[in-house]
């Protein structure tokens, strides 16, 4: 496991603890942004991994948002 | 008037201008036309738009016969093959092309009328309909249209001549629009409209139809509000089944014979079905796919992958920023935005194929999910990304313009929302044009570089089409894009015939002595070495190599059973003396004559036959070729491990009907498709008329 993977897991753990999907979106976008200079300077390994991490954060955010919607709508219907 | 008043009047004038600009229908159309002209202007040409996957159709391609046949002697498959499983392509591409060519139009005009203009028109119109439910401002709708119709994926596809996929792609937003409208509102009108669009998408390209089916199922899952509301779920599932059942019925003309003769159509071979093939064809990396950057952009040379261009990373940043603006949205709109974000991520993951991360998932899906075998080239999943980003980015731009307007007003009081809209639209358009600058500056090849048909090929067409007697042509190494072929003079490609894909090895195989008899038996009269005007047949490390052409010609010229006849420029033609007829017999006593009825039916007159004599039918062996004599049916047997042959049932003179059995299933299927189409259209027209009268 590379240092960037460990850092990713730490951030992921923190974001899961926080339970705020918007923070996941911020983290995802941040990963994409910082991968830009890395690609520009041909630091491909880290840049590629950052894009993967970014996409995983976004995926988690979307999933949480979607399930949040189901939850909200179901509870509204029950009421 | 004070100076402040004058400034105010000036400001309000300028604001009015921007307001008018951003809301005017005419300006919207003019800007749209200008942008599309900038990108696609090379298509306005009297020359041929030719890409590697876009064939050149000659007028004689289907002999004025527009019926559907289960056996085809199409381009390069001059010995014939079971073609029912490809009839959808025949209906959508070959028949319309032949119709226009037979009406007297040139191919240059026909291909533009059939493929390129409809692509532009449909992709703009269908994205417009989809986008207007998400974005209020016309100019951001235009941004969405630009993203959908002019991204690196679709431009690469178009430059490579994959026009049928492009047309199918252009219809996809229409279908998605019907799905997302009122969270898939189920009524008969919606369902029938969806049936027609889905059937059309499948007709144009079956893979895009499959992709739409995935979108359909995913959307139904997302659109469910409450998983405990079984009644509603059942209603949605019934609607889904009903749509696909009708689509199946509409496509019976090829599905029915394909199911019946499955073994013939689903024989892809290892090069299509192995995990190694997927690894080989997985060109895109994850950073490419999520950035909507086609791996072969801009050169579009097979297997040549370009470096990651960093500016493209701004695209996913923009698209997924949409998740910041969910707060104030209504229930349905919020669900739709989330659905498109999800679709973009799924598309990015699948379009990279077996590349990391988690590439094994794609291989598993390829091996286990029915229908996934069609996606050996995983880049088709870019369609999900294009569809997703064409919604998400305009949505973000619209919200961004509101933020810009708010902040702008803090700095400068007169800064109105219209300024912000204009600035955001302008910056985005410039950015997008920069990402596809190679298209804007005319650096793309293929269909974006119009070409002329070499006169040599016109002369070859005149020579071949002037001869009535049936014979075949044998092209080494393969038929050139403008090479002539017809039902009467089918073309065989040496590469496919020998299943050898190295030009040097083809020559050593062709030099073997048994080829003389073999080519005679399959009715080959001319061996043709093509003039490679498009520089795509004689390649060494993806670069045209004239030496290969010279080597092939000098080797073939030395063969003593071939005599060179007058060629046309660099098209070299060599003749084989006394090739066999389409039907012939190894027994010398028999006299044969035959008449061609259609590609699946012939009438054969036999004289002086002796029971047990063989008649050879020089087409690829298929046991479904049968001969009927009175009530007796004789099935084809293999001759020389290649051709069809029939054992004669009795002595004497008589007439035989030779026909291909799967054809009757095509006829049944066509009937079912026709009746379903009429019924669907009739009911839809009835509903629409009823609605109009009510109003």
A29 inside domain: yes
Q: Say yes or no: B276 and B175 in one domain.
A: yes
Dist. CA B151–CA B136, nearest whole Å: 22
Q: Say yes or no: B427 and B340 in one domain.
A: yes
Q: Among B310, B331, B347, B391, pick the best mutation site for testing chain A contact (most A Cβ within 10 A).
A: B310
Residue of B nearest to A25 (CA): B323
Residues of B in contact with A35 (CB under 8 A): 287, 313
* pLDDT at site B416: 79
Q: Between B290, B314, B338, which is nearest A55 by CB?
A: B290
The pTM assigned to this predicted structure is 0.92
Q: Say yes or no: B40 and B77 in one domain.
A: no
Dist. CA B288–CA B312, nearest whole Å: 8
**Contact state of A58 with B308 under an 8 Å Cβ cutoff:** no
Which CA distances in Å does B311 have to A38, B351, B464? 12, 20, 52
Q: How far is C-alpha B65 from the chain's CA centre?
A: 23
Q: Say yes or no: B385 and B280 in one domain.
A: yes
Q: Say yes or no: B113 and B165 in one domain.
A: yes
Q: Provide mean pLDDT across the span A70-77.
A: 56
Q: Which of B431, B448, B465 is the last residue of a domain?
A: B448
Dist. CA A72–CA B375, nearest whole Å: 38
B673 inside domain: no
Q: Between A61, A65, A70, which is nearest B227 by CB?
A: A70
What is the extent of the structural domain holding A44?
15-78
Phi, psi of B647 (to 5 degrees): -85, 130
Q: Say yes or no: B298 and B398 in one domain.
A: yes
**Contact state of A70 with B226 under an 8 Å Cβ cutoff:** yes
Dist. CA B196–CA B676, nearest whole Å: 11
Dist. CA B134–CA B333, nearest whole Å: 7
- How many distinct helices (H) and strands (E) make up chain A? 3, 0
- DSSP codes joined into one string, B183-209: GT---HHHHHHHHHHHHHHHHH-HHHH
Phi, psi of B200 (to 5 degrees): -65, -45
A38 inside domain: yes
Q: What does the block give as tokens for B619? A: 């087409």
Q: Say yes or no: B201 and B59 in one domain.
A: no
Q: Between B224, B310, B323, which is nearest A25 by CB?
A: B323
Q: Say yes or no: B185 and B302 in one domain.
A: yes
Long-range pairs for A33-38 at CB < 8 Å and ≥24 separation?
A: A33/B317, A35/B287, A35/B313, A36/B310, A36/B313, A36/B314
Of B145, B127, B139, B123, give the one whose Cα is nearest residue B28: B139
* pLDDT at site B265: 46
- DSSP codes joined into one string, B291-353: TT--TTTTT--TT-PPPP-GGGGHHHHHHHGGGGG-TT--HHHHHHHHHHHHHHHHHHHHHTT
* pLDDT at site A75: 57
A6 inside domain: no
Residue B556 near residue B510, CB atoms below 8 Å: yes
**Per-residue buried b or exposed e for B457-486, using 16+ beta carbons within 10 Å of the residue's own CB:** beebbebbeeeeebbbbbbbbbbbbbbbbb
Residue of B nearest to A43 (CA): B308
Q: Say yes or no: B442 and B491 in one domain.
A: no
Q: Between B227, B286, B316, which is nearest A52 by CB?
A: B286
> What's the total number of domains in chain B?
3
**Contact state of A29 with B320 under an 8 Å Cβ cutoff:** yes
Q: Say yes or no: B462 and B567 in one domain.
A: yes
* pLDDT at site A74: 54
Residue B195 near residue B243, CB atoms below 8 Å: yes
ipTM attached to this prediction: 0.94
What is the extent of the structural domain holding B418?
3-44+106-223+268-448
Of B170, B138, B133, B140, give the one whose Cα is nearest residue B153: B170
Residues of B in contact with A77 (CB under 8 A): 225-226, 229
State how far residue A37 is from chain B, nearest Cα, in angstroms.
8
Strand (E) or helix (H) holding B256:
helix B252-260
Strand (E) or helix (H) holding B562:
strand B562-568
* Peptide bond just before B442 cis, omega within 30 deg: no
**Contact state of B286 with A51 under an 8 Å Cβ cutoff:** yes
* pLDDT at site B7: 55
Name the stretches of chain B with pLDDT < 50.
1, 264-265
Residue B153 near residue B202, CB atoms below 8 Å: no
State how far residue B323 is from chain A, nearest Cα, in angstroms.
7
Phi, psi of B443 (to 5 degrees): -95, 5
């Amino acid at each position: 496991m590379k240092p960037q993977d460990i850092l990713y897991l730490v951030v992921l753990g923190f974001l899961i603890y926080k339970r705020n999907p918007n923070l996941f979106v911020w983290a995802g976008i941040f990963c994409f942004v910082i991968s830009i200079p890395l690609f520009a300077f041909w630091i491909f390994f880290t840049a590629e991994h950052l894009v993967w991490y970014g996409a995983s954060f976004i995926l988690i955010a979307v999933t949480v948002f979607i399930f949040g919607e189901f939850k909200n709508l179901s509870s509204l219907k029950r009421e | 008037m004070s100076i402040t008043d004058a400034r105010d009047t000036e400001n309000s004038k300028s604001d009015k201008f921007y307001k008018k600009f951003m809301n005017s229908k005419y300006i919207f159309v003019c800007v749209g036309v200008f942008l599309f002209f900038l990108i696609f202007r090379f298509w306005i040409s009297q020359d041929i738009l030719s890409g590697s996957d876009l064939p050149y159709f000659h007028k004689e391609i289907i002999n004025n016969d527009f019926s559907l046949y289960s056996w085809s002697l199409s381009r390069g498959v001059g010995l014939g093959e079971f073609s029912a499983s490809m009839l959808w392509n025949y209906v959508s591409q070959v028949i319309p092309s032949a119709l226009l060519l037979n009406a007297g139009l040139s191919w240059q005009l026909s291909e533009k009328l059939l493929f390129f203009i409809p692509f532009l028109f449909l992709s703009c119109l269908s994205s417009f309909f989809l986008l207007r439910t998400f974005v209020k401002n016309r100019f951001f709708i235009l941004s969405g249209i630009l993203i959908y119709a002019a991204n690196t994926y679709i431009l690469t596809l178009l430059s490579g001549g994959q026009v049928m996929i492009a047309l199918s792609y252009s219809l996809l937003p229409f279908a998605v629009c019907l799905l997302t409208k009122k969270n898939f509102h189920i009524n008969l009108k919606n369902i029938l409209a969806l049936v027609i669009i889905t059937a059309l998408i499948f007709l144009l390209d079956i893979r895009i139809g499959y992709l739409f089916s995935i979108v359909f199922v995913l959307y139904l899952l997302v659109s469910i509000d409450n998983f405990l509301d079984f009644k509603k779920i059942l209603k949605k599932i019934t609607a889904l089944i009903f749509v696909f059942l009708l689509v199946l019925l509409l496509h019976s003309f090829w599905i029915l014979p394909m199911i019946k003769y499955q073994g013939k159509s689903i024989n892809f071979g290892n090069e299509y079905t192995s995990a190694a093939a997927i690894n080989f064809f997985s060109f895109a990396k994850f950073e490419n796919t999520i950035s909507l950057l086609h791996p072969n952009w801009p050169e579009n040379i097979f297997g040549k992958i370009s470096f990651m261009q960093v500016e493209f990373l701004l695209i996913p940043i923009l698209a997924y920023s949409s998740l910041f603006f969910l707060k104030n949205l209504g229930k349905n709109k919020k669900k739709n935005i989330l659905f498109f974000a999800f679709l973009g991520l799924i598309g990015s993951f699948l379009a990279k194929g077996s590349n990391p991360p988690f590439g094994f998932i794609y291989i598993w899906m390829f091996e286990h999910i029915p229908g996934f075998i069609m996606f050996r080239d995983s880049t088709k999943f870019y369609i999900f990304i294009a569809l997703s980003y064409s919604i998400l980015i305009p949505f973000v731009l619209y919200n961004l313009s509101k933020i810009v307007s708010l902040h702008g007003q803090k700095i400068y009081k007169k800064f109105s929302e219209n300024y912000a809209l204009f600035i955001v639209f302008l910056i985005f358009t410039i950015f997008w044009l920069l990402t596809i600058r190679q298209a804007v500056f005319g650096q793309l090849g293929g269909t974006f570089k119009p070409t002329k048909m070499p006169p040599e090929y016109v002369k070859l067409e005149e020579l071949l089409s002037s001869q009535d007697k049936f014979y075949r042509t044998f092209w080494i190494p393969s038929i050139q894009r403008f090479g002539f072929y017809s039902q009467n003079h089918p073309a065989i490609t040496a590469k496919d015939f020998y299943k050898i894909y190295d030009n040097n090895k083809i020559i050593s195989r062709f030099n073997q002595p048994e080829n003389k008899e073999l080519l005679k038996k399959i009715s080959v009269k001319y061996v043709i070495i093509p003039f490679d005007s498009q520089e795509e047949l004689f390649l060494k490390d993806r670069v045209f190599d004239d030496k290969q052409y010279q080597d092939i010609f000098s080797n073939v010229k030395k063969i003593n059973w071939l005599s060179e006849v007058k060629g046309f420029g660099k098209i070299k033609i060599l003749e084989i003396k006394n090739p066999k007829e389409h039907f012939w017999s190894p027994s010398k006593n028999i006299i044969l004559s035959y008449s061609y009825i259609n590609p699946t039916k012939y009438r054969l007159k036999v004289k002086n036959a002796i029971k047990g004599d063989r008649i050879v039918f020089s087409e690829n062996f298929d046991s479904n070729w049968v001969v009927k004599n009175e009530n007796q049916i004789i099935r084809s047997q293999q001759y020389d491990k290649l051709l069809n042959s029939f054992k004669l049932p009795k002595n004497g003179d008589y007439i035989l009907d030779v026909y291909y059995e799967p054809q009757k299933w095509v006829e049944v299927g066509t009937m079912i498709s026709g009746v379903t189409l009429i019924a669907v259209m009739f009911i839809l027209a009835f509903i629409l008329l009823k609605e109009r009268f009510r109003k």
